[in-house]
Every structure is written in structure tokens, then in C-alpha cells.
Structure 1
Amino acid sequence: MGIKIFVDGREGTTGLKIHHYLSGFADVELLAIDPALRKDAAARSRLLNAADIAILCLPDAAARESVALVTNPATRIMNASTAFRTDPAWAYGLPELHGQRERIASAARVSVPGCHATGFIAALRPLVEAGIVPHDYPVTSYAVTGYTGGGKMRITQYESPAFAAAHQLQAPRHYALLHDHKHIPEMRLYAGLSFDPSFTPVIANYPQGSAVAVPLVSRLLGRNASAKDAHEALAAYYDGEPFIRVMPFDAAAELDEGHFPIMALNDTNRLELFVFGGADRFTILSRFDNLGKGAAGAAIQNMNLMLGRDERTGLI
């Protein structure tokens, strides 16, 4: 008998990608809902409670509704929305954080991290734990991402026939300028910060691939830490990790005539960390696929851990 998986909201960008991954698993039985009943609470409830793992790819309010429909104590839930990411009753699905892999493996409820949050936390958490970045450091960060990170509405907007006439879409666009981006609470909590970071995301005219930058100033860091100190701390933290790699220090060879190739990890579940800069100022830069390690790939990695198997299954 196969492992029963129900993807509630498989019509969305993340749901479609997760479904694509799952279709390659011989031991997975995908439970499907009649498209005409996908908003019917009774029909969804039957499938949610029949599943070994229910994966929710829904807006926050709908995700909360689905969780409330689950009455079977054997059904484990993975949620891809913002709804439960800072809820202590839910395991945060970034296995590479110290102690988190074990918690995910035994959890009944797991939240998949936000895409921007994944790159931000991966860059900062090891430095906070090492005492290099103080908990009260005034962190700033900016991120550049492809338009698929905005979901179906943004994809339709950027890929519609009217796009050529919408000149404002052809240039990168800053957003969340009121510093109210929905990923900020999890970024602060799981990076170990005392205050919200100042975070500015930018959406650009290409489909997928993300880079999150965290600039740091040595004189404000613990022990006046240098770029080299930060690189060594990151390398030690992620040593042996299958999906996170710390690239060689000041990796100029990775640049394209001095420019950073954001899309190099597209269609993978990998994340790479770079340290660029000099003695007094430097930048931690994370690169990943917003649909891979930033969404669907992370969900599959977490699912593998929840099922007690190699987390790389179906992702290599």
C-alpha cells in the first residue's frame, strides 16, 4: 500500500510543482479531488483525513480552514503558507538549522519556510549562533526574485499578451516598502534577532531564481569579525549538508564579468552561500530557486524526513 498524500491547493504554483515531484515517487498514492469540489469543505475533509500527509498550498485563511477540518490524529500536515510559520506548535521546515531536522522528522505539523526567509535565515542564523552578528544588530537585507515568487497572479501578469505594453513590468520593481513583508516575522524569529530586519524585496522580469543579500559592517559585529570570520563560521555550520553549500571565499570565479548569476540553481533544491567584501564591509549572499529550496523542493525534503527516509529522495 502506498503512502497517501493529498495536496490541497495543487492548482497553484507551489502545488503544481509539488505534484510534479510526487508523481515520480513509486510508493506515493496521490489523492485527487474532483475539480468541481475543490472548495467543498466536506469533500476536502474526506481527503484530508484519509491522507498520511496532507500538504497545504493555500492562502493563509484557507490553510487555517483545512487544518480545522483534520480530525484524524494519524494525518500529518505540511503547510506551505505563512499561517503557522511562527507557531511554536509547528516545526519550522528548514532542516539545516541545528536541532531542526530531528524535530521535523517526528512532527505532526510542519511549516515550509518562505522563499525570502529561507535565504535570509540560512545566511544569518549561523553567524548569530557564533556570536558574530549580535542579536540586536540593525540588520538590513534586500532580495531579488523571479516573478513566479508572486504566485499565479504575478505569473499571469508577467506572461500575458498585454505585458509588452506594460512598460513598468519590464524593469525590476521594489515592493513591501512599508516594511510589512509577510516573511519578516519568521526571518526575525529563526535568525535569532531581537528586532525586525529592514527588508526590501525586488521582483524582476524573469521566471525563477532568487538572491538574498545581507550586508554587514565589521565594526558593529562581535569581535569586529571580518568577512573571513563569517565565511569560516558558515562553512563550519553547513559542513556535510546535502543541499546547502558555502562557496569558496570571495568567489570571483562564480561571477559573470563581475555580475552575480541569480538563476544558476534553478530547478534544484540547492542553496549556495557567498561572502563578498573586504576587511570592514562585506555581504552574505544566498542563491537558490524560489520554486525549489524556496518552496516545493523544501516541501519534498521535509516530507522525506517525516517519512523517515533519505531527505534527498526525489531531489537529486
Structure 2
Amino acid sequence: MTTPLVFIDGDQGTTGLQIHQRLRGRTDLQLVTLPADQRKDPQRRAEAINACDIALLCLPDDAAREAVASIHNPAVRVIDASSAFRTHPDWTYGFAQMSPEQAQRIATARRVSNPGCYPTGAIGLLRPLLNAGLLPADYPISINAVSGYSGGGRAAVDEYEGEHAAQASPFQIYGLGLKHKHVPEMQQHSGLTERPLFVPSYGAFRQGIALTIPLQTRLLAAGVNASQLQACLEQHYADMQHVQVMPMQTAQAMTYLDPQTLNGTDDMQLMVFAGEGQVLLAAVFDNLGKGAAGAAVQNLDLMIRGSI
């Protein structure tokens, strides 16, 4: 078997840099990037993408669409880290743990759309519960999440680490127009029939995400409680790599969530907290790990060797 040629287009952003760092020492693939003076040359980019086996696109949405449109070699496979194709019916969604069959779908796919950071946590919590009928598909879902500022890309990193870092806000809620681009992705891949209300925010830390979804048990099917939700998540992820469900007894003893707990890993931890008539679902993971570069490398490994 020949060593696959992997081309990273856009390796200067936060996700692209992470992916490049993870892959550059590997001997089971040949890594290709363009020199600085050719990165914006459409002809050189088109030549590089059509000469590779797998292209990893770490570009803004419009640039990702242009890159895909430039492909005329039918053998080229693509992993796109933008949000351009995440709800496209012809693209395979790159969340390997989303269902028992998803890893195999990714392994054989020609086009894979890497999940968004926030949707990874939301879908990871919601989809198993919706599939099991424990959560109504039309439940009025609210999703609250705080991410490290690296989730905002290079501009946010410059804001918090540049010469004016002292003026950067320690915490900011954004997406107040309730039109965040991750919402359609969350709705489609979790299985919700109604648009969830999503409230994202950034904190003054570089990376990590804590995402929570509150539920009222009176709005669930009769008899459904926190223990059943916990059992459903445990069953779904029992044989899955990189996603762990915290034992409920351990979760109940917690007094706070730290978004940075899993920084530097490609894992995600899910939790269920129970109260009187209420349940809080939670996910913690690294927005640059399982929420971006880590997921992309997992998908690449599936496409190259059929396993993570």
C-alpha cells in the first residue's frame, strides 16, 4: 500500500496549525503544504489539491467551497474543517461516535465535514437520547456554552494575546441575534425537529469548552428521569473511544465545571446532573482537540486505516 499524500490547505489558522503539528512527525503519510508565497495562488492550490490523496481544508467557508469546486480528480478525498458542508446531504458528518455506524461511513467516504466545536458537545448529548425516545424531538432545547477564546480564530487570539490584551473582556456572551451558524448543524445531526436556542460565550482562557443543556422532567415522557438519561448515554458510548460518560454519583459530587479539564486531549466527557424536577446535561472538551483538530485527525485515521 502506498503512503497517502495529505495536503493541508490553510495551515496558518488555529485549527490548521494544530493539525499540522499533529501530523508532521508521522511516517504513515506524506504531508504537503504550500510555501507562504503560494498559499493565495489559486492555480498552485488547485494543482496541490488535485495531486493529493486526502485534502484537509482549514479555510473560511467561501474559500472551502472554492477549493472543493476546483477538484477535478475523482480520486481526491476531502476533510473540510469549515462549516460550509456540515448540513450538505452529499457530505458525511465527521463525528465518529455519533452512531455505531458513523465511523465506518467516515472510513469509506469521499467527502467528510468535520463537526463544529459547540455542535460536538450538543449532538453528543442529545442524539442518543432523541434516538432512544427519551427526549421529545420537539423539546424546546436551550444550549449554553463557554469556550476558550481560540474558538474565535486568529482575530480572537490576537485580541487576548496581542498588545491590547489588557483591554480584552474577561467574559463575553455573543450570538445575540440568535442566528449562530452552528444551530442548523446542531438541529440536523441531533435529530431535533425544532430550532434549539443557542447561547455561546468566550472566556479569558485559551481553550476548552463547557456546554450545558437544561431539561425539565415534566416536559419529558412520563416516568423518564435522570437515571434513564444517564443509562442511555452510558450504553451508547460504552464501546466508543474518546467519549466518556461520567458516573452519576461522581457527577453529583461536583460543585463546578472547569472548561479546561480535558485540554490537550482528544476526549469529551459527558455528565448528567439531577435536581428536583430538573436535569442538567453537560459536556466538557477541548475546542481545539475533540472540537476541531483532534476530530479531524480521528477522521483522517479512519479514512487512511479504518480505525481511530
The letter of the residue matching 1:144 is V
CA gap of 1:281–1:54, structure 2 versus 1, over 3 A, is same
SS in 1 for 2:164: helix
| Superposed structure 1 runs of 4+ greater than 2 Å apart | 250-255
Equivalent in the alignment of 1:293: 290
- Partners of 1:228 and 1:197 lie apart in 2 by 24
Residue 92 of structure 1 pairs with residue 93 of structure 2:
yes
Q: Deviations over 1:30-55 (max 9, x none)?
A: 11212111111110011101111000
Residue 182 of structure 1 pairs with residue 181 of structure 2:
yes
Contact 1:132–1:221 under 8 Å retained in 2: yes
Q: Deviations over 1:84-111 (max 9, x none)?
A: 0000100000011222112111100000
- Partners of 2:195 and 2:223 lie apart in 1 by 22
1:248, CA displacement in angstroms?
Answer: 0.6
- Partners of 1:228 and 1:253 lie apart in 2 by 12
Contact 1:93–1:112 under 8 Å retained in 2: yes
SS in 1 for 2:248: coil
**What is the TM-score when the length of structure 2 is the normalising length?**
0.97
Equivalent in the alignment of 2:74: 73
Structure 1 residues 1-316: aligned runs within 5 Å:
1-98=2-99, 99-164=101-166, 166=167, 169-252=168-251, 255=254, 258-311=255-308
The letter of the residue matching 2:247 is P
The letter of the residue matching 1:117 is P
Question: Bigger shift: 93-102 or 37-46?
Answer: 93-102
- Partners of 2:250 and 2:289 lie apart in 1 by 23
Contact 1:227–1:279 under 8 Å retained in 2: no
Consecutive unaligned residues in structure 2, runs of 5 or more? none
- Partners of 1:174 and 1:35 lie apart in 2 by 35
Question: Percent identity among equivalent residues?
Answer: 43
SS in 2 for 1:263: coil
- Partners of 2:299 and 2:125 lie apart in 1 by 20
1:25, CA displacement in angstroms?
Answer: 1.2
1:223, CA displacement in angstroms?
Answer: 2.9
Contact 1:56–1:78 under 8 Å retained in 2: yes
Contact 2:104–2:306 under 8 Å retained in 1: no
1:254, CA displacement in angstroms?
Answer: 6.8
SS in 1 for 2:177: coil
1:261, CA displacement in angstroms?
Answer: 1.8
- Partners of 1:30 and 1:2 lie apart in 2 by 10
Contact 1:216–1:281 under 8 Å retained in 2: yes
1:222, CA displacement in angstroms?
Answer: 2.0
- Partners of 1:244 and 1:252 lie apart in 2 by 16
The letter of the residue matching 1:194 is T
1:2, CA displacement in angstroms?
Answer: 2.6
1:253, CA displacement in angstroms?
Answer: 7.4
Equivalent in the alignment of 1:314: none
| RMSD of equivalent CA atoms | 1.2
SS in 1 for 2:97: coil
- Partners of 1:250 and 1:85 lie apart in 2 by 36
- Partners of 1:149 and 1:199 lie apart in 2 by 16
CA gap of 1:119–1:254, structure 2 versus 1, over 3 A, is farther
Q: Deviations over 1:218-255 (max 9, x none)?
A: 11012341111110110011111110000010424773
The letter of the residue matching 2:284 is R
The letter of the residue matching 2:261 is A
CA gap of 1:254–1:93, structure 2 versus 1, over 3 A, is farther
Contact 1:142–1:214 under 8 Å retained in 2: yes
- Partners of 1:22 and 1:35 lie apart in 2 by 19
Contact 2:252–2:273 under 8 Å retained in 1: no
**What is the TM-score when the length of structure 1 is the normalising length?**
0.94
- Partners of 2:223 and 2:216 lie apart in 1 by 9
